[in-house]
Amino acid sequence: MKIAYVNVFVTDLERALAFYQGALGLRLEHADGEHGYASFAAGPVRLGLAVAGAEQSALTGRHTGVGLDVDDLEAEHARLIGLGVRFTMPPTVQPWGGFMALFEDPDGNVFYLDQVSAAAG
């Protein structure tokens, strides 16, 4: 078994598409507004966006546990700040040696932005 995709719940698919494509630069593989779903290429695992129905509203605006790896965390942080992305934690060296930041998508879903190579070195 291997992980094929991870889904994150959003409230507005068009707004989310603009953020994940425009700000984050992920490559859209598939979008279906009628069914409220989109899929992005995100390395070996796809990132899916699913529109939360009324019964799933508690699934938006929370910590996703999803980490996105970048080569240069400080440069990517500055680029995203320039695009208006909200960070809840700036790039910080972690006690365990990692180098990461936390940011939010337009629905308040929190992601890790990580420079994995910093911890590996």
Q: Mean pLDDT per segment of 10 residues, for the chain of length 121 residues?
A: 96 97 97 96 96 90 96 98 98 94 98 84 54
Which candidate, 8, 3, 7, 6, places its Cα nearest to that of 62? 8
What CATH number does the domain located at 61-121 have? 3.10.180.10
- Contact between 88 and 48 under an 8 Å Cβ cutoff? The reply is no
**What's the confidence (pLDDT) of residue 120?**
58
pLDDT of residue 116: 86
* CA Rg value for the chain: 15
Specify the pTM. 0.91
Fold held by 1-54:
2,3-Dihydroxybiphenyl 1,2-Dioxygenase; domain 1 (3.10.180)
pLDDT of residue 6: 97
Residues 40, 31: Cα–Cα separation, whole Å: 9
